[in-house]
Amino acid sequence: MRVTETVLVGLYLLGMTVVGVYFYRRARRSEDDYFTAGRSIGTFVGAFAIFAAIASSSSVMGAVGGGVALGLPYFATYAFGVIAALPLVIFLVAAQLSRSGVRTVPDFFRQRFGTAVQVTAAVIVVVAMTFYLVPQLTASGLIGSYVLGIDYQTAVIVLGLGFTLYAALGGMWAITYTDLIQGMILLVGVMLVALSILVAHDGDLAGLLDEALAVDPAFGTVTQPWMSYFGLFVAFIWFGIISPSVVMRNFASRSAFVARRSSMWATLIYTTLFLCGAVVAIAGAAMGRVDELENRDFIFILAIEEYLPTILAGVMLAGLLAAIMSSADAMLLAISAGVAHDIYKGVLNRQASERFVTGLGLVMMFVAVGIGIVIAVDPPGLIAVMVGWVGGFLLSSFGAPLVLGLWWRRATSAGALAAMLGGAGVFVVLMLGGWLPTNAEPVLAAPASLAIMIVVSLLTGPATREQRELVDRYHAVAPGAGASD
């Protein structure tokens, strides 16, 4: 056990749990409080909350580990895709979703397309977000085994249950304010690692890159088929739009203007994170130790061990946990809302009390993390690759129905349902078939979903008057005068 690091990480986990307990009573007052923090989040808090929701273990350990293992171009593809995601959110969906007044992504699909689309979307959210927990749990297991001196499987269980506790207690209130803290810790921690690396090498980043290329000449080359890079880029540039754990931040903003401005500032924060992450990836490659690792995502922790003194290493390990927890809690809330609000209250029992719905949501978080733990005990791949699968699956399922639902007045319920099922089906078949390079599935599945939606909507149209007027409302224009026909 590493005593100093253990104490710092322990204090960090305790602090997050205290926040969850503090917000427990407020969160249980209503579904709006539990799932959207009363729609009261401002720009500063919202920016860090959006950043923290996207900046999962994949953005730190996964991006660096994937970059060292698969080359700097792979890291750059990942980084450019994620950084570009939030500007796309600003111009394409942030204000429109905020004006919809709904609480969840499936709730939007119910409002725009009806109950059948809502239920289908809720099932997809639950499946995708549960699998998305796996890379977060994998990273927590790696950190826990390193810090606590326990085996990987035990660390996955202990830390997985730990970050579920405060999310389940405090809902979106606790998640948003812990994300503010976690986002700051993560950003400062990664900046400390990058700064320490540059100081150790006298600020000579070009010389450090030469060292990395001397150790591994493939580090600077394209090591994967072009479809892998393109598929990864496409999945991540759309991630802020199609990931329920991120989209729900728009519902929590106090206005459409605040939703857009929060995404703008989150873009700048994320750019800083990836610039520092590139320095860490180059240093990790220069260490020449990736081949000795059973899990190559561990290279980030080796860089911490190499370049930071004990007390700062403890801060950075807390930062890594912050990356994990800040994304995992948002995923848990999306799962919770999908089952409790969208399926149970939306379909099975419309008269259910708000307190029962929030209580069911609390229970579902623990069920979801239990399933995630079972899978994470023997993870199916690199963290970045697993997150790429989730992003591709969500893009193929939700991309066309969500964006066209906001912008195209002629989009119909039948078109949305067909696109959702068709895109998800094509993605799963391609992934299980293994005919395409890793993470390339959305290159074919997403366009297929788009084509299906357009064709089926035209064949089953026109959309109802209410559906057309909803699109006008999303764009804050007079009915019939705004969005595209």
Q: What is the CATH number of the domain that holds 281?
A: 1.20.1730.10
Closest CA to 35 of 352, 332, 470: 332
CA atoms of 474 and 43, how far apart (whole Å): 21
The helix/strand count (H/E) of the chain reads as: 23, 0
Residue 480: per-residue pLDDT? 47
Give burial (CB, 10 Å; 0-12/13-18/19+) of 1.
exposed
The DSSP call for residue 378 is S
CA atoms of 186 and 184, how far apart (whole Å): 5
Question: Is the residue at 423 inside a domain?
Answer: no
Domain that holds residue 18: 3-383
Residue 268: per-residue pLDDT? 87
Write out 281-311 in H/E/C secondary structure. HHHHHHHCCHHHCCCHHHHHHHHHHHHCCHH
Q: How confident is the model at residue 449 (pLDDT cuts 50, 70, 90)?
A: very high
CA atoms of 221 and 280, how far apart (whole Å): 18
CA atoms of 336 and 128, how far apart (whole Å): 13
For 95, the token pair is: 């204000």
CA atoms of 281 and 97, how far apart (whole Å): 36
CA atoms of 386 and 304, how far apart (whole Å): 24
In 332-475, the DSSP E strands lie at none
pLDDT, tens digit (0-9, with 9 covering 90-100), for 332-388 = 777 887 888 788 887 788 888 877 887 887 788 888 888 888 888 776 656 667 777
Closest CA to 130 of 244, 33, 248: 244
Domain count across the chain: 1
- Residue written as token pair 């895709």: 81
Question: Is the residue at 290 inside a domain?
Answer: yes
Give percent of the chain with pLDDT exceeding 90: 16
Residue 484: per-residue pLDDT? 55
Q: What are 484's strand-pairing partners?
A: 408
Question: Is the residue at 469 inside a domain?
Answer: no
Mean pLDDT of 449-477: 90
pLDDT, tens digit (0-9, with 9 covering 90-100), for 459-472 = 997 888 999 999 99
Which amino acid is residue 381, in one-letter code? G
Mean pLDDT of 300-307: 83
Q: Which H helix or E strand runs over 197?
A: helix 152-200
Question: Is the residue at 458 inside a domain?
Answer: no
- Positive or negative, the CA dihedral 138, 139, 140, 145 is positive
pLDDT, tens digit (0-9, with 9 covering 90-100), for 70-129 = 888 988 888 888 788 878 887 888 788 878 887 778 888 999 999 899 899 988 888 888
Q: Which H helix or E strand runs over 164?
A: helix 152-200
CA atoms of 465 and 214, how far apart (whole Å): 65
For the chain, the distance separating the N- and C-terminal CA atoms, rounded to the nearest angstrom, is 63
For 408, the token pair is: 């195209």
Contact assessment for residue 18 and residue 181, using Cβ atoms and an 8 Å cutoff: no
Question: Is the residue at 349 inside a domain?
Answer: yes
Mean pLDDT of 8-32: 68
CA atoms of 223 and 215, how far apart (whole Å): 16
Residue 29: per-residue pLDDT? 61
SS3 113: helix
Question: Is the residue at 443 inside a domain?
Answer: no
pLDDT, tens digit (0-9, with 9 covering 90-100), for 374-430 = 888 776 656 667 777 888 898 899 889 999 999 999 999 999 999 999 999 999 999
Contact assessment for residue 368 and residue 130, using Cβ atoms and an 8 Å cutoff: yes
Residue 390: per-residue pLDDT? 82
Question: Is the residue at 468 inside a domain?
Answer: no
pLDDT score of 40 more than 60: yes
Question: Is the residue at 424 inside a domain?
Answer: no
Residue 48: per-residue pLDDT? 80
